[in-house]
Each structure stands twice: as C-alpha cells, then as structure tokens.
Amino acid sequence: MTAHAADPAPPLLEVRDLVVELATPRGPLRVVDGVSFTVARREVFGVVGESGSGKSITMLAVMGLLPPGMRIAAGTIRLDGQSLPDLDAERLRRLRGGRMAMIFQDPMTSLNPVLRIGTQIAEAVRLHHPDWPAARVHARVIEVLGLVGIPDPARRYRQYPNEFSGGMRQRAMIAMAIANEPDLLVADEPTTALDVTIQAQVMAVLAEARARTGAAMVLITHDLGLVAEVADRVAVMYGGRFMESAAVEDLFRVPSHPYSVGLMASLPRLDRQGEALYSIPGQPPGLADRPAGCAFHPRCGLSADRADCVARVPELRRLGAGAHAVACHFAAETPAWRDSPMVHPPAPPPAAAPAAAARGSGLAVRDLCKEFRVSRPRRWGSDRLHAVAGLSFTIARGETLGLVGESGCGKSTLGRVILGLHQATRGEITLDGEDISRRRARRHRRRMQVVFQDPYASLDPRMSVFEIIAEPLRINGVFRAERVAEMLAHVGLSPDMAERRPAEFSGGQRQRIAIARALALDPEILILDEAVSALDVSIQAQIINLLKGLQRRFGLTFLFIAHDLSVVRHISDRVAVMYLGRIVEMGSREQVFDRPAHPYTQSLLSAVPVADPAARRARIILEGDLPNPLHPPSGCAFRTRCFKARPLCAEAPPALEDRTGGGQLTACHFPEPGMPAVAAMAATRQG
Amino acid sequence: MLKFVIRRVGQSVLTVFGVLTAAFFLVRLAGDPVVLLLPVEATEADIALMREALGLDEPLIVQYLTYLRNAAIGDLGMSLRQQSPALGLVLERVPATLELALTAFVLGIVMAFGIGITMRLSTSRRLRAAILWVAFIRQAVPVFWFGLLMILLFAVHLRWLPSLGRGGIEHLILPALTLATYELALYLRLFNASLGEEQKQDYVRTAYAKGQTRARVILRHMLPNALLPLITIAGLNLGVLLGGTVVTETVFSWPGVGRLIVQSVSQRDYPVVLAGVLVISLIFVVINLVVDLLYAVIDPRVRLA
C-alpha cells in the first residue's frame, strides 16, 4: 500500500489499486497492475519509468482517455473525493480540460495542423465556459498566451502550428491546459522532444503557470534529472507496478529498490565522470511476457532468482516511519548492495593509445563548409543555408570527439559531409593526411562507418539480420558468412538470431545490429549520430559500455554526435560545442565541462537537469529560439540570446582561438572560464 | 500564395504541351490515314494528291511545328471523315460528357461524404462493416455489367426509365447512377480509411483532453484533415470521368467525348483524336490545378511549401 504523507487534508487525487487491462485475442493483459498513490494540492508528483512501464497509461486512465482496447478493470480513482470511473461519460468530459488537464509529449503532432493556435485554445475555454461572449474568450486566450511567454500573442493567435517552433508549440499546449485553471495538470514527457535550453524555458513556464493557477502536477518522464529538479515526491514504475515511492530527496539519496539503484547507477552524470556505468542486464519485458512474481527479478542484481522473487509479487511497503515505500522482498539488503563494487564497476584501464597512434594521424577537417540552396517561401529565388560554416578540428586515432549542440546547429550535416553522404561546398577532410573529400574518394568509405539515432528506421525491415550485416561485406567483395557471426558475437547477440528480421528485436538489440553492420568492414572511424539518444536509460548504459569496449578492443576513433551533454561527458575525450554551423568552444572534456568559457556552453550546461535534488540550482535560461539559420545574426551568431552581448559582438565575429591558455578554444569576445553566478548574470542582462 | 499559383500554372502549361506532343507522335504510329480514307482501287497519283492536300507530304518535324502553331490558335484541322473542324466536333460532345460526369461525380461524393460521416459518428461497428462490405462488392462489379443490370431492371422489366440516348433527366438517371455508385464505393472506402488514420493522431487525443465531445472531435478536428487525401483522389478521378466514361457512354449510347474518340481512332480520323485528347488534357490539368489550390486553402502547411 502506498504510504501516506502525514497530512490531515484530503488529497486532490487518490488512486487505489488501479488495474488497467488490454483486451487481446488471448485474454486480457494487465498494463497497470495495482497502482496506488495520492497527489496533494499544489504538489508535484513524479512518475519515472522506461517505455512500456505503464506510466502514461496510469495517467490516461485517470483522465478517462485510455486508448481503444484498454479498460479500468479494478481500483478507484477519486478527484476531490469524487469517483471518476463512476461518472457517466458526459460528466467526466466536463472535468477534462476543466478541473484536470493534460500536456502531451510531442508538440509537433499534438496540435491540429489545420486550425489556428488561438482557435484551438479558444475551443478549450469555450467548452468550459459556454456562457462567455466571444470577446471574453478571445481576451482569455490572449491572456494565457502571454502567461506562457509567447511574444505578440494577438498576432500569434492567428497563426497555424507549422508557424510555431517546437518550444513555442509546447508553450501553446501549456496555455491550452491552464486556460481553465485546472486543479490537476498531467504532464506526459512535456520536454522530451525539445532541446535542453528550450526544455529549461518550458519547465520555467510550467512552474510559473502552476504558481499562478495553484495546480498540482503529475510529471510523467523517463528523465531522472528532470524529476530530481521538479518533483516533490516520486514513484518509480516498472512492469505496470510501483517499485518505489518516496520524497524526491530520499529516493535520490537512498534508492532502495534494486531497479531504482540500477537506474541511477546506469545514468551518465554531468557532475561526475570516469567510472564505468552499471548496466541493468536484459531488456524491459513486453506486455505479454511479464515475469511472474516480481516483474524485475530476471534483471535484478540483488535477487539472483531467489524463490520469493520468482513466486510472490512484492507489495509496496513502508521502509520506516516515513513515506518511503519499496516493493522488494529483500529491501533490507539493498543498502549494502547499493554501495558495493557490483553497482559501481571500476573504470577500465585507458586504451593503449600509442599503438593506435602508430597507425596514422587520424581525421582532420579544415575550413569545412556545407551550403544548401533553400527556395524562398512566397518569393522568387533561393537562399544559401550555411549548415556548416567553416569548421576545423582533428580527431586523433583512438580518440573520441564529442560534438554537442541543439537541433539545427549542423552537427548531423557535419557527420554526413565527413562520411561523403553530402559533398562539401568548401574545405578539406583528410584521413591520415590523405584527402577524402573529393568524389573519387568512394574507396575510403569502408574506413568510416556510421550508426544513426533511430534503430527502427535505419534498418531495412525486409532484410534479415544476416543480410543487413552481410550487405557491406558483399558490396566490398569481402563477404564471409563467419564474419557475420563474428560481428554478432562482438555486439553481444547470439549468431542464431541471424535469420530474424529487425521487427523481432527490441530497440537496444536493433542498435546492436546497427553497430555490428557498421563494424563489419573493420572501419577506423565510427560516426555515432545520436546513436544512444532513442534508448531507455538502462539500455543506453548497455550500448555505451558496448561502444567503449569495442573502441578499446579495435582502437576505433569516434565522432560522437549528441545533444545529451551527460552522455557526451561520459564517453568523450575531447568535446566541441556547435551553434548555428560553427564551433563556439572546443577542448578536453574537463576544460569544456568544468571550466566552460563560452556563454553558450555555460547556458547549455546550466540547463541540463542533474539527477540530484540536493544540487537544485538557479539556471541560465536562454531567451528565445535558435535564430533562423538562413539569416544568422551579424557578428557573433549567439549574441541575440547571449546574456553578455555588447556592441562589439554585433560588429565582429569572434574567432575560435585559445583565449585562456591551456589549449581550450573559445569563440567569444568576452570569455570567462567557469560557471558564472546566476545572480550576477541576471544583473548583466538588465544593465 | 501568388508564387505558388504562378508556379502551378506554369507547370500546367508545360503538361498540356507535353500531351500535345505525345498525342501527335502516337497517332502517327497508328498508321497511314490516307490508305483508309481512299477506296481500295485508288492509284498512286490519287494517294500522292491526297497526301499533299492534307499536308502529309511534308517532313514529320514540319508537320509537327505547323500542328503546334495551329493548335496555339485553336485550329486543329478538319475532320477527315466529316467536313467540319475537328475541335468543333469534340466541343459539341463536351456538354453531354460534362452532364454525365459531373452528375455522377457530385452524386458520388455527396453520398460518400454523408454516409462516411454518419458511419464514423455512429458507434455501431456492425453498421460500418456492413456498409463497407456493400461498397466493396459494388467496386468489384465491372461498370458495363452493372449498367446492363440497371437497364434490365429499370428499363426492360419495370419500364420506368429509357435505356438509350440522351434527352431529359430520365435519360440521365441510369448512366449517372451506374457511374455514381462506383464513385461512391471508391470515395467511401477511401474516406473511411483516412478518417480512421486521423483518429490515431495525437491532436485527436489533445481535443478529447480539452473535454471536447466525440461528435465535434470528428467534425471539427478529424474531418478537415481527412479531406486532404480525398480531394487528391477525387480530383484525379474527376479527370478520368470527364475524359473517358467510354464504357458507360457505350452501354447507354450516350453521345459523349469518350465515344467520339473511340470511333475516331478506329476510323483514323486523327485530327478529331488530337482535338479530343487536347480537350481532355486541358480539363484534366485545370482540375488538378484547382485541387492543388484547394489543398493550399485547407492545409496551411502547403501554402508555405
């Protein structure tokens, strides 16, 4: 049973023993399996879990928005004492969007593309205030648009979703949700689709909106950092059940379920580095094959298949007098296991760098430019888009260069140009001193391979795994069946899986297949374009450890392109930060992460939520969106969002040079190594 | 928007030019018209004279350029069989084809729209399955056979309606229904599929989360989005209807363009064939232009592209 917080006031939301079933031809499957929790007024309750854990379905059940085929099979849901499943459809409908409102993950698809933004928000207002005259509805929409920080709301009212950036759309979604001052806000991965600086903006808007309306919030997310920064209490969900539920400080200080411990140990951290990641073995179970007993036992590092874990479902029980509750038969043993070397594997020895260096000088990029012609909407002619605007860097043999930046900064284009998938407009790419940027360089392709972000889209669904891995070997005339089996073994897959098709594998396994394909030709350089971004935390740790192992083993050179700074810190030797097609800062990972000198790097680092509630801090929130890359600002491209911008920044673009000594390159007229104090910065912005 | 319109009109002109060129050379592949036009006992001299009279003695490229120049001012030459301008013969038939095609099209689309929305609003799965089943059966039946059945039932047995020719509204009913039910079946299945696709979209869930009613989610949110694919197919299909309801026109002896072209091809009356092809391609191109503009009106994303 859920532990109650010791407060006398009745909770706003009370969910007890909720069971949600999915009807299938082979009988019902339990998607949510006996979940109980309460949410107090004004409280933020976080629900963390990986995909398929049932976290979204739990809250969709509360909202009465279960997808077809699913139904509430047992349990009670009370909002302010009123039982929601007992309401008829009409009365439940009136509560939705009124007293309880929901914000969804993907603002790109959650708004209707053919209706104006204002119309869609007005619809929500009118539904719950049918007596309001049109002028009052209109005024309210303008008011909430202003409240969520959308500039020029009267003009934005008349625009369509495709005229809004991702961050602006999510603001519009929030405006829609708070328009009727709900008591309960359900936010389902509200910032997962957004860049980190935009995420920081949106979370600030959400906090402001909650402060104004006094709404309680249920935050559903896979992001432990976000929960640590925002939530008051947290539940960890796995296999349709709550594994642990606690005040946020307690959960992060003393995680007490082996799953929570594993999640936290497998998370790369922005504030730490060096140690190897713990990785929870195996895959999260599908709905149809949830294990009996404790759903987590096959992957548990503590259980080792003890009889109790296999036979009995553990109840969620309080640990002590407080509200910390854990669903584990052996919770008493967790503390000792938590601090053992099993959970904190020692860092592996560094790669044998000298041997690798002997093979050549590595990859060098000089003054590389890539322009695209973009036809102008509503006008004649075309503009040049400088996706990559004069980059120079080198990656030594066996080294990992992390390339970070927000969407649209040109990092993926850069990867494609290096691979030869795009022809460079200007500049030079050399591999061991040999120019590979010209067309005839096709024969160099096999020396560089790539792994893409989406393992669902980047593998041909009609080919067997064997054919997928064999294809590059056949193209280059070096096919041997044993090589395919060997590659599968390298990435931790069994060779007897070779005849299956990608659809039969989970996301993590597919990414292993993609890595096997990339390594089949024994390349020297691997370009990893967001290769772990689409994976759940526990799987992400497996793939990162796999990549690091393969790098050591084969002396591989990595260009690791990612937007997740924590992962980049974990895996990289050196780091380059990109903004609007240019590198703004580059150095060793310690330099870039511990003593960033460029205001953009500082803002990015400050925007990342850290999975430690004790480290909650004020953050630099960049204003506005990325400028239109077709018309970049004069001088320093970052100046329009920079808290330090001065007149010089508009006049001259700063060169990327060593401004602080020690080899760290920074493209800023006013570099100051180290994280600035936020208070001082706010003053600068006003002054 | 203006740039979009101008670009689309430019593309349309190119398309018509392409059709004119292709039609000219394809017709020439079909054989020498002079041999068919003259009696079997005609002498070499007669043939040469005929060729000269028709301009067929010129090199092909000169004939082609002459043809283009004349086409640009609307002169597509005289019919080889009837002593009147080819374009005039085709245009005479246009009203009959328009009457039949438009009636069938409007009937089909209006019924599809009404039945499709009713089907979605109703919560009965059986009703939907039954309607879709009937539509499927209708689509599977060939037009000529369905037309003959209609004649057999309504003209021969019941004697309610005439079976042949063009005249008052009573002549229109049977051929129009034959075509309209086919159109109905097509659009209904398409409309249902596209509504079903929209139902899965995230914005539908957003609308429900606002507290919107089911009926208004369907009518306000899903419907405009579901119309987009329907408009594309309807536009293409209207072109097909206007160009050649040949089978229906033949079964019901309807004096339309489709029948004229088929007759002219068999008689190698190539000016008439060319005129017919030109008229039909013009109609086709105009309809597609209208469809694209409609698209831009409904979907703001197209306007920017």
| pLDDT value of residue A381 | 67
Provide the 8-state DSSP code for A245.
Answer: E
A112 touches chain B (CB under 8 A): yes
| pLDDT value of residue B304 | 53
Higher per-residue pLDDT: B164 or A587: A587
Q: Which residues pair with A382 in a beta bridge?
A: A375
| pLDDT value of residue A485 | 92
Reduce the DSSP state of residue A47 to 3 states and report it: strand
| pLDDT value of residue A611 | 85
Res. A305 pLDDT band, cuts 50 70 90: confident
User: In 3D, which of A200, A201, A198, A203 has the Cα closest to residue A187?
Assistant: A203
* pLDDT over 80 at A274, yes or no: no
Q: Which residues between 357 and 416 in chain A have a beta carbon less than 8 angstroms from any beta carbon of chain B?
A: 377-380
* First-to-final CA distance of chain A: 54
Instruction: Judge: B211–A115 Cβ closer than 8 Å, yes or no.
Output: no
Shortest Cα–Cα distance, B1 to chain A (Å): 6
Q: Write down the residue that tokens 């899986």 correspond to.
A: A497
Please tell me the distance from the alpha carbon of residue B255 to that of residue B90, in angstroms, as a whole number: 11
| CB A178, CB A124: distance < 8 Å | no
CB pairs under 8 A between A and B: 82
* pLDDT over 80 at B167, yes or no: no
Res. A360 pLDDT band, cuts 50 70 90: low
**How would CATH label the architecture of B86-304?**
Orthogonal Bundle (1.10)
Q: Which residues contact A266 (CB under 8 A, 6 or more apart)?
A: A277, A278, A279, A280, A537, A538, A540, A541
Of B202, B212, B301, the CB nearest to A127: B212
DSSP A604-617: HHHHSPPS-GGG--
Res. A369 pLDDT band, cuts 50 70 90: very high
| pLDDT value of residue A255 | 93
* Residues in chain B within 8 Å Cβ distance of A163: 300
Of B211, B301, B304, the CB nearest to A127: B211
Query: Which of the residues B210, B217, B231 would you substitute to probe the A interface, choosing the one with the greatest number of A C-beta atoms within 10 Å?
Result: B210
Q: Which residues contact A506 (CB under 8 A, 6 or more apart)?
A: A283, A284, A539
Of B206, B211, B225, the CB nearest to A104: B206
* Residues in chain A within 8 Å Cβ distance of B220: 115, 123
Instruction: Judge: A127–B210 Cβ closer than 8 Å, yes or no.
Output: yes
Residue A515: both structure tokens together: 């890595």
Res. A275 pLDDT band, cuts 50 70 90: low
Of B203, B299, B305, the CB nearest to A109: B203
| pLDDT value of residue A687 | 30
Please tell me the distance from the alpha carbon of residue A423 to that of residue A418, in angstroms, as a whole number: 9
Domain ranges (residues) in chain B: 86-304
Higher per-residue pLDDT: B244 or A462: A462
* pLDDT over 70 at A354, yes or no: no
A176 touches chain B (CB under 8 A): yes
> In what order do the strands lie in the sheet containing A382-395?
A382-395, A363-375, A426-431, A434-435
Q: Write down the residue that tokens 């050649």 correspond to.
A: B244
* Residues in chain A within 8 Å Cβ distance of B230: none
B123 touches chain A (CB under 8 A): no
Res. A3 pLDDT band, cuts 50 70 90: very low
Average the pLDDT over B64-70 and give the result. 86
Of A115, A162, A176, the CB nearest to B210: A176
Instruction: Judge: B300–A123 Cβ closer than 8 Å, yes or no.
Output: no
* pLDDT over 50 at A133, yes or no: yes
| CB A569, CB A404: distance < 8 Å | no
* Residues in chain B within 8 Å Cβ distance of A109: 201-203
* pLDDT over 80 at A540, yes or no: yes
Please, what is the average pLDDT of chain A?
Answer: 88
| CB A551, CB A398: distance < 8 Å | yes
Of B202, B208, B220, the CB nearest to A106: B202
Provide the 8-state DSSP code for A624.
Answer: S
Residue B209: both structure tokens together: 């989360």
Angle at A547 between CA A546 and CA A553, to 5 degrees: 90
Instruction: Judge: B211–A95 Cβ closer than 8 Å, yes or no.
Output: yes
Q: Which residues contact A210 (CB under 8 A, 6 or more apart)?
A: A42, A44, A185, A217
| pLDDT value of residue A683 | 38
Q: Which residues between 63 and 82 in chain B have a beta carbon less than 8 angstroms from any beta carbon of chain A?
A: none
* Residues in chain B within 8 Å Cβ distance of A63: 209
User: In 3D, which of A299, A361, A405, A282 has the Cα closest to residue A524?
Assistant: A361
| pLDDT value of residue A1 | 41
Instruction: Judge: A63–B209 Cβ closer than 8 Å, yes or no.
Output: yes
B225 touches chain A (CB under 8 A): yes
Give pLDDT tens digits for A213-267.
Answer: 899 999 999 999 999 999 999 999 999 999 999 999 999 999 999 999 999 998 8
Other beta carbons within 10 angstroms of residue A249's beta carbon come to 15
User: In chain A, which residue's Cα lies nearest the Cα of B1?
Assistant: A378
Reduce the DSSP state of residue A101 to 3 states and report it: strand
User: In 3D, which of A376, A465, A37 has the Cα closest to residue A236?
Assistant: A37
How much of chain A, in percent, has pLDDT values that exceed 70? 93
Instruction: Judge: B210–A65 Cβ closer than 8 Å, yes or no.
Output: no
| pLDDT value of residue B245 | 74
Reduce the DSSP state of residue B284 to 3 states and report it: helix
Shortest Cα–Cα distance, B203 to chain A (Å): 4
Q: Which residues between 276 and 305 in chain B have a beta carbon less than 8 angstroms from any beta carbon of chain A?
A: 298-301, 304-305
Q: Which residues between 1 and 20 in chain B have a beta carbon less than 8 angstroms from any beta carbon of chain A?
A: 1-4
Average the pLDDT over A453-459 and give the result. 83
* pLDDT over 80 at A78, yes or no: yes
Instruction: Judge: A113–B203 Cβ closer than 8 Å, yes or no.
Output: yes
Please tell me the distance from the alpha carbon of residue B260 to that of residue A163, in angstroms, as a whole number: 51
Of A93, A112, A163, the CB nearest to B211: A93
Give pLDDT tens digits for B108-166.
Answer: 999 999 999 999 898 888 988 999 999 999 988 888 888 888 888 888 888 888 777 77
Domains of chain A: 260-338 (no CATH), 353-572 (3.40.50.300), 580-686 (no CATH)
| pLDDT value of residue A84 | 94
Q: How many CA atoms lie within 13 A of A501 on its CB side?
A: 5
Shortest Cα–Cα distance, B188 to chain A (Å): 22
Instruction: Judge: B221–A112 Cβ closer than 8 Å, yes or no.
Output: yes
Query: Which of the residues B194, B200, B206, B222 would you substitute to probe the A interface, choosing the one with the greatest number of A C-beta atoms within 10 Å?
Result: B206
Instruction: Judge: A104–B3 Cβ closer than 8 Å, yes or no.
Output: no
Please tell me the distance from the alpha carbon of residue A684 to that of residue A678, in angstroms, as a whole number: 10
ipTM higher than threshold 0.90: no
Residue A478: both structure tokens together: 């070096």
Helix axes A537-554 and A258-265, enclosed angle (nearest 10): 50
Instruction: Judge: A101–B209 Cβ closer than 8 Å, yes or no.
Output: yes
* pLDDT over 90 at A621, yes or no: no
Q: Which residues between 120 and 159 in chain A have a beta carbon less than 8 angstroms from any beta carbon of chain B?
A: 123-124, 127-128
Higher per-residue pLDDT: A402 or B46: A402
